[in-house]
Every structure is written in C-alpha cells, then in structure tokens.
Amino acid sequence: MKQDISQDAVAASTDTQIVIAPHNERYITPEVRKRLPELREKAHWVYHRLMEHYGEPTWRAHRPPLDELIITTLAQNSTDRNALKAFRTLKERFPTWEDVLRARPEEVIDAVRSAGLANQKGPRIQAILRKLKEEQGDFDLSFLERMSTEEAEAWLTGIKGIGHKTASILLLFNFQRPTFPVDTHVSRVSKRLGMAPPRASTRQIRAIWETVVPPEWYYPLHLNLIRHGREVCKARTPLCDQCVLQERCDTYQGIRRWENA
C-alpha cells in the first residue's frame, strides 16, 4: 500500500480561504463549520489517495438528459441493472415520450415494474413528462443549459419525487455543473471516514464536499468514492485491511470526531 502522497500537493491545494456557497450555507452546521479546515485538508488527502489508487475516471458518454433523468428516477431504491431493464421495457412499449405521457397510468406502472416501487415511479415519470410538455412544449431538457445551476436544480426538484440527488447527478453528468451527488456509497464512505457526522443527511454531506474540494474535482471524486464504496468500503463488510484510506479513516482509527454533532 502506498503511503507517500505529496504533502506539498495537499498543502498547496488547501492554501486558500474556505468559501461556503450560499446554497450550502444552511446545511453547514456550527459543528461542521468549525471543523472545515481539518475536513478540507483530509478531503484533499482522500482525493489524491483515491486518484493515485484508482486513477482518473474516464468521462463516460452520457445519454440524452431526459433519458438520464428517467433512468435516475427508476434507479431510486433500486439497482442500476433493474433500472435499465425497466427503462428498456418502457421504450419498447412506448416508442415516444408522447406515448408514455398519453398512456394509462397502469400501463406505465406495468412497464417499469422491474425497477421496484412501480406505483410511485410510473406516475412520477408521467409527471416529469407532463411538466416538460406544459412548460416547454416538448420533451427537451436543453433549456436547463440557459439557467444558473441553482435555477436548474430548483426546476428539477420542483417535480414531485425528484430530490437533490437525482437533480445533482443530472446537472453534473449531463450539464457539467458544479454539483456533488451523494448516493448511498458516498454517504457511507464519507461518514466512516469522519468527513461528515454520523447522522448527517445526504444534502449535508453534499454541502461539505462542495465546500472543501474545488469544483473540478467533483466528478472524479464522486466516481472514485462510489467505486471505493462498492469494492472496498462495502456496506456490510468493509475490507479495511485492503483500504488505501485506513490511515486517515476515523472508523478504522477509532476516532470519535463528531461527539457533539
């Protein structure tokens, strides 16, 4: 296991003032706020260590934004595999988005059944399409390009069932906007490392990462944390003896950083 990340690299990248973006202000608690300098230093170490270990993730070609939004919606509380299966069935049964919108709700529910929670996801998909059709006249999400990141996120989260995670995935992956999606893997690894309090919400964890690392790191760090969570810091049995983060991991080191949080 490599131990020699350049301290110069970490120090150089943490040598500026910490700025909390207005949209993150209310998610940074006083306890987190006072620890921001140490969290930033640790975050930069984690970033470099994961980059050293996994390398720079390649920017994958993404599907059209609306496809991505529907798939992300289907993937909520499900696996990527089942979400994609449901998406393919949906597309086979309904060749156009107009067809999905006009279909009877039970037909859409039946088409997405393999993703689970179909009774919620079917109507949710039709609600997305209805909002687009009513407000934009078509099924094209490219108007989000012309909005600020906050406006685009507000538009997306204004749809019932679309939370900040789905919105930030779409905005980061399809529109290259500076958002840091926090899924179950990122949340678990962040808490075990001590980057966030044990009871932090995913929105709070997102606010911490967005505050302590520069925007150009969001994409590679997000993907490397997910990979680390899937392959090493697994939910039930973390493989700590194979982990490149163990020397700074609060859980592994038995550090209780967040006693007052």
Single-letter amino acid code for the residue at 186 = V
Work out whether 211 is an interface residue with ligand SF4 (CB under 6 A). no
Judged by CB under 6 A, does residue 251 bind ligand SF4?
yes
Identify which of residues 90 and 233 has a Cβ nearer to ligand SF4 in the complex: 233
Site mask for ligand SF4 (CB under 6 A), range 166-205, x = bound: -----------------------x--xx------------
Catalytic residue among 133, 165, 191, 234: 165
Shortest reach from residue 82's CB to ligand SF4, in Å: 26
**Residue span binding ligand SF4 (CB under 6 A) among the ranges 18-26, 66-74, 114-122, 231-239:** 231-239
CB 207 within 8 A of CB 36: no
Binding span for ligand SF4 by CB under 6 A among 11-19, 80-88, 166-174, 246-254:
246-254
What is the C-alpha to C-alpha distance for residues 104 and 257, in angstroms, rounded to an integer? 52
Q: Binding mask 88-127 vs ligand SF4 (x if CB under 6 A, - otherwise)?
A: ----------------------------------------
Number of residues that bind ligand SF4 (CB under 6 A): 14
Residue 67 is encoded by which pair of tokens? 């496809």
Q: How far is the CB of 229 from ligand SF4 (least distance, A)?
A: 8
Helix (H, G, I), strand (E, B), or coil: what is residue 222?
helix
Question: Is 165 one of the annotated active-site residues of the chain?
Answer: yes
Binding segment for ligand SF4 (CB under 6 A), chosen from 45-53, 82-90, 204-212, 239-247, is 239-247
Q: Write out the two tokens for 190.
A: 């962040």
Burial of 57 (0-12, 13-18, 19+ CB in 10 A): middle
Q: What are the backbone dihedrals phi and psi of residue 103, each rounded to the nearest 5 degrees, phi first?
A: -65, 160
Is 43 within 8 Å of 195 (Cβ atoms)?
A: yes
CB of 243 to ligand SF4, least distance (A): 3
From 200, 211, 233, 257, residue interacting with ligand SF4 (rule: CB under 6 A): 233
Q: Is 255 left (phi over 0), alpha (psi -120 to 50) or beta?
A: beta
243 binds ligand SF4 (CB under 6 A): yes
Alpha-carbon torsion (37, 228, 79, 199), positive or negative: negative
Q: Which long-range contacts (CB under 8 A, 24 or more apart) does 163-169 make?
A: 164/202, 164/203, 164/206, 165/202, 166/69, 166/72, 166/73, 166/76, 168/206, 169/68, 169/72
Active site residue ranges? 165
Question: By the criterion CB under 6 A, which residues form the site for ligand SF4?
Answer: 189, 192-193, 232-233, 238-240, 243, 245-246, 249, 251-252
